Chain A
């Protein structure tokens, strides 16, 4: 059950033009940075990317957008990205906006082997257009389908060679649900360890969901909104 590959280039070698990818992360937090760099290098195009956000101009999925590799984004929020806006307005890029919980739960459904979910999010709005509505106990719910992604690219804090993953803090976000949802899931980790070094009770994503894992490197972990408190009179 050794899932280890040599690095990002090997991990993504069979991602081809026109495929659908899930990319973990929230804003710039918990992004599969190494896989994104490798995709940019490989230059694979016409991709559909399912990811909560679209990065910024020079980081995250923004790098793939700049390289004209993305055909369609499926996201909940795509602000803070000028190139994204330019491509969208020029018609180069398609975007499907979904409520954030719907996005997460459509990933979850795929990982749990369920074809669809019912959520009240979007009822009475344009998100509901063309979708089936069902009433349960007097309340309307939208039927939303499980995602079908060729690859899921996720970033974890620690992982073992069998693919078991542990995430850190709010860098967890979409990563575990996407890890469960890819036909092939690639995990890059800050620290790759041997089986037995992770406490089984602390594992967030069991290795059965992970097909390839590698030790990542050179994490930039850029901060989008650096907000701090002043230290007053040296008292904390």
Chain B
């Protein structure tokens, strides 16, 4: 059974450790916040200038001055801190943020990521993605294993313009959890329940490394 978006988010949440400062990108990564265990002390960073991002406000309590990087109205939690955009990327560049979770259009077997531009289509911009991938030491990509045309998004080499080079450490898709080996290659760590290694092989264009028995994800 392939995971849905919530399932991917749920699996990624298991990568978060107590005491982490975490930056969540737009899309599936945003959903990860819903699965962080209550007893875990985790602070969410929003790159528009906030540490300690809380849930969406109750209806009628929206504050136009309090938004996240996706421009959604949000709340702050006790202990939150606000700061300017330069400081926000300062803490990212200085590796104070422990984990960055973001989406991708393509990832290559050496950890390159492409997620901001499709030639021939209107380019909206990279936002903070290039800063995040260039500096973060711990980057997890949340994405579908294949694109809408059914082609693999895990490639020997990215075909789209790059966002960053040799930076992705781990990938969670609807089918698998994989890490990117320092020497290159996607190492299969876990399979979605009921998904076979063969099925994953068939949709992984880049070098797939399968060592021993691959366990099913425990979600």
Are A and B physically bound partners? yes
- Beyond A225-B67, A227-B74, whether A97 also contacts B125 by CB under 8 A is yes
Closest residue of chain A to B134 (Cβ to Cβ) is A120
Indicate if the CB atoms of B130 and A127 lie closer than 8 Å. Answer: yes
Docked complex Cα distance between A119 and B163 (Å) = 14
Indicate if the CB atoms of B85 and A100 lie closer than 8 Å. Answer: yes
Docked complex Cα distance between A20 and B175 (Å) = 49
Q: Pick out which of these stretches binds chain A: B86-94, B180-188, B196-204, B207-215.
A: B86-94
Q: Which of A162-213 contact B (CB under 8 A)?
A: 167-177, 204
What A residues does B194 contact at CB under 8 A?
A: none
Partner of A75, one of B86, B125, B128: B125
Indicate if the CB atoms of A225 and B48 lie closer than 8 Å. Answer: no
What B residues does A116 contact at CB under 8 A?
A: none
Indicate if the CB atoms of B130 and A229 lie closer than 8 Å. Answer: no
What A residues does B93 contact at CB under 8 A?
A: 101, 119-121
What B residues does A161 contact at CB under 8 A?
A: none
Verify if A231 is at the interface (C-beta below 8 Å from B): yes
- Beyond A29-B64, A169-B65, A225-B70, whether A99 also contacts B128 by CB under 8 A is yes
Partner of B131, one of A79, A101, A157, A174: A101
Q: Pick out which of these stretches binds chain A: B10-18, B36-44, B76-84, B142-150.
A: B76-84
Shortest C-beta distance, A218 to chain B (Å), equals 14
Indicate if the CB atoms of A228 and B59 lie closer than 8 Å. Answer: yes
Shortest C-beta distance, B137 to chain A (Å), equals 12
Docked complex Cα distance between A9 and B126 (Å) = 34
What A residues does B1 contact at CB under 8 A?
A: none
Docked complex Cα distance between A44 and B56 (Å) = 40
Contact with B along A97-110 (1 / 0, CB 8 A): 10111111101100
Partner of B64, one of A99, A172, A221: A221
Q: Which of A91-143 contact B (CB under 8 A)?
A: 97, 99-105, 107-108, 119-127
- Counting chain A CB atoms within 10 Å of each CB, the highest count among B62, B92, B124 belongs to B124
Q: Which of B50-69 contact A (CB under 8 A)?
A: 50, 55-69
What B residues does A229 contact at CB under 8 A?
A: 55-59
Binding site for B on A (CB under 8 A): 26-30, 52, 75-79, 85, 88-89, 97, 99-105, 107-108, 119-127, 157, 167-177, 204, 221-231, 236
A–B pairs, 9, beta carbons within 8 Å: A29-B64, A101-B89, A119-B131, A119-B134, A121-B130, A121-B134, A223-B73, A225-B67, A227-B72
